[in-house]
């Protein structure tokens, strides 16, 4: 099962038409879910303490509940639940990985921020008065970012989901510093170290940043790309093993 989370100002129907995942689902037989928010300029709640807390409420709990309902209704495989999103959806995806690591097996965010980055702000929209999160000005260490993620589900001792992070170097809305901030956060949570870079991967101008053996955490820096980084269905599917068991 894959959950696709739309960006600010977008909609579930729009995001359905923006990627090729529906054709993948038809070919390989997995379920797609498209959540929808209609408040705060159609932006997800990535700032409230409720949304940034396991079972705290708000959008993150609602999305997790959608997963539970769909698994039951369609007899889905609870071990293969993934979240992918762009912009606001890529900000919600890390929150889901941190607050509901027992629900999701992996996530991929395109032009997003670390889990908990917006917490204590007044909103998580492009017009929020506090731009320190999207402009990567928090200045937290990897340990601090990791602690923020772990605090979203206190007491959780299981394995955290796989993560894949994509950011454009020319993005002025969600700046490129958020790529390293997210990699710092999840490498600390997972106990992984930087391994190596692969230039011009998966295409010219992109750099793949590998942590550990590359099966749990990778980042992609897209040179000259603004907001949004184009969705890369094949690379998401390969790295996150979304199609494992469906081929």
How many residues are given for the chain? 247
Phi, psi of 176 (to 5 degrees): -60, -20
**54-68 burial: b if 16+ Cβ within 10 Å, else e:** beeebbbbebbeebe
Taking each helix axis as running N to C, give the angle between helix 177-190 and helix 88-99, from 0 to 180 degrees, rounded to the nearest 10: 10
Decide if 43 contacts 122 (C-beta within 8 A): no
Decide if 87 is catalytic. yes
Catalytic residue (one of 87, 111, 123, 237):
87
Under a CB-based contact definition with an 8 Å cutoff, are residues 71 and 1 in contact?
yes
- Catalytic sites, residue numbers: 87
């Amino acid at each position: 099962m894959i959950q696709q989370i739309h960006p600010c100002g977008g909609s579930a129907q729009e995001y359905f038409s923006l990627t090729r995942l529906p054709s993948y689902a038809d070919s390989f037989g997995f379920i797609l879910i498209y959540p929808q928010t209609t408040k705060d300029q159609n932006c997800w709640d990535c700032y409230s303490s409720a949304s940034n807390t396991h079972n705290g409420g708000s959008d993150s709990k609602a999305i997790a509940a959608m997963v539970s309902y769909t698994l039951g209704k369609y007899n889905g495989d609870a071990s293969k639940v993934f979240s992918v999103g762009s912009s606001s959806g890529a900000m919600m995806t890390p929150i889901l990985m941190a607050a509901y690591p027992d629900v999701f097996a992996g996530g991929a965010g395109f032009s997003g921020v670390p889990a908990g980055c917006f917490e204590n702000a007044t909103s998580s929209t492009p017009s929020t008065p506090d731009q320190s999160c999207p402009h990567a000005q928090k200045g937290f260490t990897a340990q601090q970012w990791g602690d923020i993620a772990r605090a979203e589900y206190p007491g959780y001792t299981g394995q955290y989901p796989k993560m894949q992070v994509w950011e454009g170097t020319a993005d002025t809305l969600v700046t490129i510093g958020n790529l390293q901030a997210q990699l710092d956060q999840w490498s600390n949570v997972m106990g992984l170290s930087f391994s190596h870079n692969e230039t011009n991967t998966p295409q010219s101008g992109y750099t793949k940043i590998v942590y550990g053996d590359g099966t749990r955490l990778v980042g992609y820096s897209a040179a000259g790309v603004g907001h949004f980084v184009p969705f890369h269905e094949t690379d998401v599917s390969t790295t996150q093993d979304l199609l494992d068991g469906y081929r």
